[in-house]
Amino acid sequence: MAKKFIIGNWKMNLNVHESSLFAAKLAQEVPTYRDVTTAICPSFLALQPLSLQVNHRQMKLGAQNCYWRDSGAFTGEISATQLRGLAQYVLIGHSERRNIFSEGDREIRFKVQAALRNCLTPVLCVGETALERKDGDTEHVLNDQVVSGLLNVSSEEISEVLIAYEPVWAIGTGETAGPEDIEKAMKIIRAQVSHLFGREASKKVSLLYGGSVKLDNAASILSAKGVDGLLIGGASLIAPEFAGMVKIAGELAKEEAKNEVKE
């Protein structure tokens, strides 16, 4: 039975003190389920205090980015090596990094490798822009980003990678991809993983959806075929919304487990 993932990306919000207060609120509201992994990605600054504060059985921690070299003269950067022990996950190639900070495919690929080398689970983010969608380029873009991001990942390592489909046009816009669009994208990504690593690996790889996910639409998105979890921005900063989505994932996972026993 596949695990479900609910990951909150806090982006550049909350200072250290506010992060701690908010994490304490989440600790009171977020339920725990055997088959759901819940993680929050605060700022780099808040990772260290939160690593001491959170109950890791209830919530894991993720970083929003990392540099691909382990150490050296790279002023202002934070390496996966430095995150080791503080975070279990790291977002890589988020569209805000690709588009605002001009991160390229080569850099993103190196970051995926750096995460794996340092025992962090990379969450490789892929997704097409509004223009690419309009031009009918979604499949091409997803294939390119998946192939490029996973180049040099071994068949042993692929099970340690999460892939998040985040259509750029749906991020922070209130516009969500419909279940059909999401299923189609998941199918494209899984087929590419199958092509690169074989069918077994493609069945096991966990795929997340992100882009204007809220409590209202979480159930229908999580029920879409091929979706194993959610990567949530804005709504992850509202405790009852985030906790509610964990609950939806947990109940769905229980239902799926029941059906598997019956089959």
Residues in contact with ligand 13P by the rule CB under 6 A = 9, 94, 166, 171-172, 210-213, 231-235
Query: Given 94, 103, 128, 241, which residue is catalytic?
Result: 94
d(CA 51, CA 92) in angstroms, rounded, equals 20
Q: Are 149 and 105 in contact (CB under 8 A)?
A: yes
94 assigned to active site: yes
Query: Closest approach of Cβ 94 to ligand 13P, in Å?
Result: 6
Query: Closest approach of Cβ 13 to ligand 13P, in Å?
Result: 10
Query: Closest approach of Cβ 203 to ligand 13P, in Å?
Result: 25
Q: Which is nearer to ligand 13P, 92 or 171 (CB)?
A: 171
Query: Closest approach of Cβ 212 to ligand 13P, in Å?
Result: 4
d(CA 262, CA 40) in angstroms, rounded, equals 34
Q: Which is nearer to ligand 13P, 9 or 121 (CB)?
A: 9
**CB neighbours of 199 closer than 8 A, spacing ≥ 6?**
none
CA distances, 119 to each of 78, 84, 214 (Å): 15, 7, 31
Crossing angle of helices 138-150/179-197, nearest 10°? 40
DSSP-assigned letters across all residues of 44-56: HHHHHHHHHHS-T
Query: Closest approach of Cβ 232 to ligand 13P, in Å?
Result: 5
166 assigned to active site: yes
d(CA 80, CA 139) in angstroms, rounded, equals 30
| Torsion angle (degrees, nearest 10) of CA 203, 225, 4, 238 | 150
Q: How many residues does the chain have?
A: 263
Residue 36 CB-half CA count within 13 A: 27
Query: Closest approach of Cβ 9 to ligand 13P, in Å?
Result: 4
**93 three-class SS:** coil
Q: Are 149 and 109 in contact (CB under 8 A)?
A: yes
Q: Which is nearer to ligand 13P, 171 or 189 (CB)?
A: 171
Q: Which is nearer to ligand 13P, 157 or 166 (CB)?
A: 166
Query: Given 96, 128, 166, 241, which residue is catalytic?
Result: 166
Q: Which is nearer to ligand 13P, 177 or 201 (CB)?
A: 177
Residue nearest to ligand 13P (CB): 233
Residue 231's beta-bridge partner residues?
7, 210
Q: Which is nearer to ligand 13P, 231 or 252 (CB)?
A: 231
Residue 122's beta-bridge partner residues?
90
Q: What residues are labeled active site?
A: 94, 166
